[in-house]
Chain A
Amino acid sequence: MVNSVQLILRKWKILEYAYPNFRVLTTLFLIFVAAMILLSNLNPRFFTVVNLTNIMTQCSIYVIMGIGMTLVLTTGGLDISIGSIVGLSTVLMGITMVLLRYPTWAGVLIGLAVATACGAFNGFFIVGCKVPPLIVTLGSLAVFRGLAYVLSEGELFFGFRRDFVWFSRGRVLAIPMPIWLAVIVFILGYYLLNKTVTGRHVTAIGGNEEAAAYTGVRIRRLKFLTYVLSGLLAGVAAIIYTARLNAAQPTIGMGDEIHVLAAVILGGTSLFGGRGTMLGTLLAVVLLQVVSNGVLLAGVGFFWQQVLIGLIFIIVVAFRTLGKREA
């Protein structure tokens, strides 16, 4: 009995040695399961297909942006402008599709193109001019949001075509479109980070930029790419947002960067680069959403929900840091 426990512990140690994310992911998963059980008992309406589908649909936006943020953080970068990119992209889609009556495909393409251009703007100053990412994206957070106000003149655009609203309300095989989009983006992100040379290089840059440079990794190109992808994915999130509200307004996406950043770090990606996990990001986004939904259903007010989520974030990361110091 004692022997088998020791054996399991040793196996665990070996796993941890080889896969640094192992502990983080299992811990998150256990918290997730505990939260599910607790919340199901608190309110019978929690564990229903309708409610769970709802939660997953709400998650999709954060998962999509989280994949981009995970890539950026893994290189040792930071992008806090994604919320504003969502805002600007949304406004552009409102102007083109509602005001100018462009066809849906054109409006969507323009929305994505603008978001990608925003990412390239960040990338240009960070990679080309070597300005720290925090400074550039703090600035562009104001620039993109400001542009969203200027272009919309603070107005609300509503009444999108039905084929655009399909991006939010449409279902394929009974599963809502936002979930499909999130799943596709997640699979692509997972593949990119874990299975490709690009993913290895992105991680190497964050782990030891000098080592990456000396071995011949194309650092500048890859860093630029992560910001462009982060922008593009904010654009995808903007499509879901706009379709869900069936309206475009410049305040959409405000504050999302903090939520996404918190989830990505909670998931086990390092704020200082060199370690990124797509699975962790997915788990953390879902966990945060489950907790906020469950807490709301349990009758705790909206304001307390925020307090609780912030505390969970700090406590989980604190435990992780303590654990590392001992090892």
Chain B
Amino acid sequence: MEKQNSVVVMKNICKSFGGLQALKNVNLNLYEGEVLGIVGDNGAGKSTLIKILSGAYTKDEGEIYVFGEKRDIKSPLDARNLGIETIYQNLALVPEFTPVENVFLARELRKSLLRLRVLDRKKMKKEMAGTLKKIGIDSAMLGAVTRNLSGGQQQSVAISRAIHWDAKIIIMDEPTASLGVEESRRVFHVVRQLKEKGVSVILITHNMHSIFEVCDRIEVLRLGENAGMRMREKTTPQEVVGLIMGERP
């Protein structure tokens, strides 16, 4: 295994919801420019773990290092300011907003009008068209409200929001769960493009096919604990399924 730089290190992360301990001393390493798959059964703690990294939840115990520095991620804004963007399973888009408004939500561009700070819609639209071009998506949809877009187009909006800000770390929670074959393929294409640019991607999925298609490394969680890590080239779907189910070799 070649020597690589860690961009994210999560150490001994614990999280409880009421009496239920969702995560027990979970560790996670993410290297520069890799695609890390996190897999596990329902309730294994995958979503909880990445929501702690993305700032949606706060951890009870443990430490998070981003680019080697210890960081306290208390809110989604903290995570985004550290260069961590997340594509949530439900996409987290505002249906009544245009794609541009969604991409720039909480990071709107402003201009000065008669000494007042107002939204600069024109500039935001222009920048977003550039981003869409980068991932090879038609910018015709920019005129519509997000609610009126197809599932695949909405996914594109969510992806644009993540990559627009030149994030170094992108988390994708079940990105292909509600997509067709062609649309899933496009998502994988974007993931590979990101990887080529040196972006580290965390992919959470149920889908074995997705894992073996794009991931370099696979981290298995089971019942809120680390259940094993495998390199993609040195494992088989059978072995990974075995780890998910808790069958010890």
A196-B118, A214-B76, A274-B96 given. 4 additional CB < 8 A pairs?
A195-B116, A203-B97, A208-B95, A216-B80
Alpha-carbon separation in the docked complex, A210 to B144 (Å): 22
Residues of chain B within 8 A (CB-CB) of A210 are: 90, 92
The residue on A at minimum CB distance from B144 is A17
Cβ–Cβ contact B90 & A200, under 8 A: no
Q: Which of A149-196 contact B (CB under 8 A)?
A: 191, 195-196
Residues of chain B within 8 A (CB-CB) of A197 are: 108, 110, 117, 119
Alpha-carbon separation in the docked complex, A152 to B206 (Å): 66
Alpha-carbon separation in the docked complex, A197 to B104 (Å): 10
Q: Which of B98-123 contact A (CB under 8 A)?
A: 98, 101-102, 105-108, 110, 113, 116-119
Q: Is A211 an interface residue (CB 8 A)?
A: yes
Q: Count of A-B contacts with CB under 8 A? A: 83
Q: Is B143 an interface residue (CB 8 A)?
A: yes
Cβ–Cβ contact B119 & A211, under 8 A: no
The residue on A at minimum CB distance from B98 is A18
Residues of chain A within 8 A (CB-CB) of B102 are: 211
Alpha-carbon separation in the docked complex, A278 to B76 (Å): 31
Interface digits, B76-103 against A, CB 8 Å rule (1 contact, 0 not)? 1100100000101011111111100110
Would you give the shortest CB distance from B83 to chain A, in whole angstroms? 14
Q: Which of B56, B76, B98, B161 has the most CB of A within 10 A?
A: B76
Q: Is B145 an interface residue (CB 8 A)?
A: yes
Would you give the shortest CB distance from B44 to chain A, in whole angstroms? 21
Cβ–Cβ contact B95 & A207, under 8 A: yes
Alpha-carbon separation in the docked complex, A204 to B102 (Å): 9
List the 6 shortest-distance A-B pairs measured between CB atoms, nearest first: A216-B77, A207-B94, A211-B92, A216-B106, A215-B106, A195-B118
Cβ–Cβ contact A200 & B108, under 8 A: yes
Cβ–Cβ contact B92 & A214, under 8 A: yes
Alpha-carbon separation in the docked complex, A275 to B116 (Å): 24
Q: Is B226 an interface residue (CB 8 A)?
A: no
Residues of chain A within 8 A (CB-CB) of B105 are: 200-201, 204, 211-212, 215, 217
Cβ–Cβ contact B75 & A211, under 8 A: no
The residue on A at minimum CB distance from B108 is A197
Alpha-carbon separation in the docked complex, A200 to B117 (Å): 13
Q: Is B54 an interface residue (CB 8 A)?
A: yes
Interface residues on A, range: 20 to 34
Q: Which of A17, A215, A217 has the most CB of B within 10 A?
A: A215
Q: Quick one: which of A200, A201, A208 contacts B93, CB cutoff 8 A?
A: A208
Cβ–Cβ contact B96 & A196, under 8 A: no
The residue on A at minimum CB distance from B95 is A207
Would you give the shortest CB distance from A160 to chain B, in whole angstroms? 36
Residues of chain A within 8 A (CB-CB) of B117 are: 196-197
Cβ–Cβ contact B92 & A14, under 8 A: no
Known: A211-B92, A211-B93, A212-B94. A18 touches B143 (CB 8 A): yes
Q: Which residues of A contact B (CB under 8 A)?
A: 14, 17-18, 20, 191, 195-197, 200-201, 203-204, 207-208, 210-217, 274-275
Q: Quick one: which of B93, B113, B143 contacts A14, CB cutoff 8 A?
A: B143
Residues of chain B within 8 A (CB-CB) of A207 are: 94-97
Interface digits, B144-179 against A, CB 8 Å rule (1 contact, 0 not)? 110010000000000001000000000000000000
Would you give the shortest CB distance from B145 to chain A, in whole angstroms? 6
Known: A196-B117, A200-B108. A216 touches B75 (CB 8 A): yes
A-B contact pairs, 12 of them (CB 8 A): A18-B143, A20-B96, A191-B116, A195-B119, A196-B119, A207-B95, A208-B93, A210-B90, A212-B105, A213-B76, A216-B76, A217-B105
Q: Quick one: which of A18, A213, A275 contacts B144, CB cutoff 8 A?
A: A18
The residue on B at minimum CB distance from A200 is B108
Known: A17-B148, A18-B98, A18-B143. A214 touches B88 (CB 8 A): yes
The residue on A at minimum CB distance from B93 is A211
Q: Which of A211, A212, A274, A275 has the most CB of B within 10 A?
A: A211
Cβ–Cβ contact B148 & A213, under 8 A: no
Alpha-carbon separation in the docked complex, A18 to B143 (Å): 6
Residues of chain B within 8 A (CB-CB) of A203 are: 94, 96-97
Cβ–Cβ contact B101 & A17, under 8 A: no
Alpha-carbon separation in the docked complex, A215 to B95 (Å): 14
Residues of chain A within 8 A (CB-CB) of B108 are: 197, 200
Would you give the shortest CB distance from B113 to chain A, in whole angstroms? 8
Would you give the shortest CB distance from A208 to chain B, in whole angstroms? 5
Would you give the shortest CB distance from B151 to chain A, in whole angstroms? 16
Would you give the shortest CB distance from B93 to chain A, in whole angstroms? 6
Alpha-carbon separation in the docked complex, A203 to B161 (Å): 18
Would you give the shortest CB distance from B18 to chain A, in whole angstroms? 17
Alpha-carbon separation in the docked complex, A214 to B113 (Å): 30
Would you give the shortest CB distance from B237 to chain A, in whole angstroms? 32
Residues of chain B within 8 A (CB-CB) of A191 are: 116, 118
Alpha-carbon separation in the docked complex, A229 to B2 (Å): 59
Interface digits, B181-200 against A, CB 8 Å rule (1 contact, 0 not)? 00000000000000000000
